[in-house]
Amino acid sequence: MAKSPRSSATRLPRDAARLVFLCKSLHASGSRMEDQYWESEIESLLSKLLKAGQDNALENALEHLSEHDPDAFEVLLEQTETHTESFTATHEKLDYDVLLITAPFAVWTRYQLPKGVLSERELVALTGALQDCVLAPDVTLAAVGQLIGLDEMPRSFVQTWVWLHKLGQSAMGAKSSVPAPNVAMELPGMLADAKHLVIALAVPKGQPIFKWQSDEKTTREQCLAMWKAASTPVLGNVLAGCQFEVLLPDAYYVSMRDADKHIRPIAIRAASHWLQNALEIPASGIRATIIGMGEQKADEYRVGYSLQTHTDVIYGTVWPVFGREDTPSENNLMIVDTIDEIAAVLRESGIRDIRRLPGIVTPEYCDDCGAPLFPNPLGELVHAELPEEAAHAPAHFH
């Protein structure tokens, strides 16, 4: 019989230690009834912490479990994501289920990515198309009036919870302000990114949210095809000078991860294409240097691009790692050999000179502008600077 483990997190603050204990207990549970008990306890504590804005307790517990108990870490992450992207509430005597989602778009350009601000007409057109193509009939919604990138999204679980509840109240028909995107970091020359339309959906409790739930003859693939056809004309104006791919809307965290995975190879291809044109050189004249960044394991890989005749980094791309993508299995084989995957995309882009730096290093950023630093062939982390002889730097499309 499975037994509830004793918490070893004696050095953690009380709430963090309690979370660690509860998540270990849930993972050790041997029945659905016991699961429900521990889930209720976790929900109660998470609600208290989120309402009080206590991100530190969550982060401390997650950090501890990631180092000492990966299975319980997954439990806490799933529980926290669930409670910061969904809730149940009553408005005007009706019970609602509320879900935070994003409609993601993979966007790339040879200019510079636009801000993605939507006019009222464009927002109405997109949300109307979403209701027709993707959502079940009884769903109401509220959306942020801008296509936003990762650095403009909520930066903590507490902030995500705030966005969920503000938009959720609006979606149910209650008075509430729409959350404003965070101020974007200025990253000149950024050529590819995932952009999101962030939306809260409200539906009478227990009713379907998506069209593929309410109509069993409609598949996710059909919904995506309809959504692409309806949204593309609107996006053509909003994303002028860009190429883009419309992805399937889904729950907030799943959608974010899927979009970030999707944009990774696109960013490398966009960088290779642009550098060849800006510097008027073939891809064979470009060198790529790859390094893993993180604390205990690689949370991301950064690729620094330089000319074969120089060590200066002229551009950089980031390849984030999700979940256990880069974790050794029991036989010490990687579930996904990330560096090989990155190298394959670089070769497909025409870049043959690829350097792989050993080990994992702590992520570093520019003290002045906050931009990530990228590896040069000597193993140094430096600021990416386009050479003066470049034909043009990325600029906004006019």
Alpha-carbon gap, residue 252 to 84, rounded angstroms? 9
- Give me the mean pLDDT over the 349-378 stretch: 92
Q: Per residue in 43-95, pLDDT tens?
A: 999 999 999 999 999 999 999 998 899 999 999 999 999 999 999 999 999 99
Is the pLDDT assigned to residue 262 strictly greater than 80?
yes
Q: Are residues 131 and 249 in the same domain?
A: yes
Is 179 among the domain residues? Answer: yes
* pLDDT the model gives residue 219: 97
Q: Are residues 147 and 223 in the same domain?
A: yes
Q: Per residue in 222-241, pLDDT tens?
A: 999 999 999 999 999 899 98
Q: Are residues 357 and 225 in the same domain?
A: no
Q: Are residues 155 and 250 in the same domain?
A: yes
Is the pLDDT assigned to residue 376 strictly greater than 60?
yes
Q: Are residues 141 and 234 in the same domain?
A: yes
* Domain carrying residue 49: 14-82
Beta bridge partners of 102: 198, 250
Is 131 among the domain residues? Answer: yes
Is 70 among the domain residues? Answer: yes
Among 283-292, 326-335, 341-350, the range scoring the smallest mean pLDDT is: 326-335
Q: Are residues 209 and 156 in the same domain?
A: yes
Is 202 among the domain residues? Answer: yes
Alpha-carbon gap, residue 365 to 369, rounded angstroms? 8
Say how many CA atoms lie within 13 Å of 254 toward its Cβ.
12
- Say whether pTM exceeds 0.85: yes
* pLDDT the model gives residue 397: 39
Q: Are residues 319 and 367 in the same domain?
A: yes
Is 285 among the domain residues? Answer: yes
Mean residue pLDDT across the chain: 90
Is 397 among the domain residues? Answer: no
Q: Are residues 125 and 251 in the same domain?
A: yes
- Give me the mean pLDDT over the 150-161 stretch: 94
* pLDDT the model gives residue 8: 43
Q: Are residues 290 and 256 in the same domain?
A: no
Domain end (from 62, 82, 102): 82
Domain count, the chain: 3
Is the pLDDT assigned to residue 3 strictly greater than 60?
no
Q: Are residues 45 and 76 in the same domain?
A: yes
More confident residue, 173 or 330: 173
* pLDDT the model gives residue 309: 87
Is 180 among the domain residues? Answer: yes
Is the pLDDT assigned to residue 6 strictly greater than 60?
no
Structure tokens at 364: 């570093």
Is 144 among the domain residues? Answer: yes
Highest-confidence segment of 200-204, 272-276, 277-281:
200-204
Q: Are residues 108 and 188 in the same domain?
A: yes
Q: Are residues 210 and 108 in the same domain?
A: yes
Structure tokens at 248: 């399937």
More confident residue, 3 or 306: 306
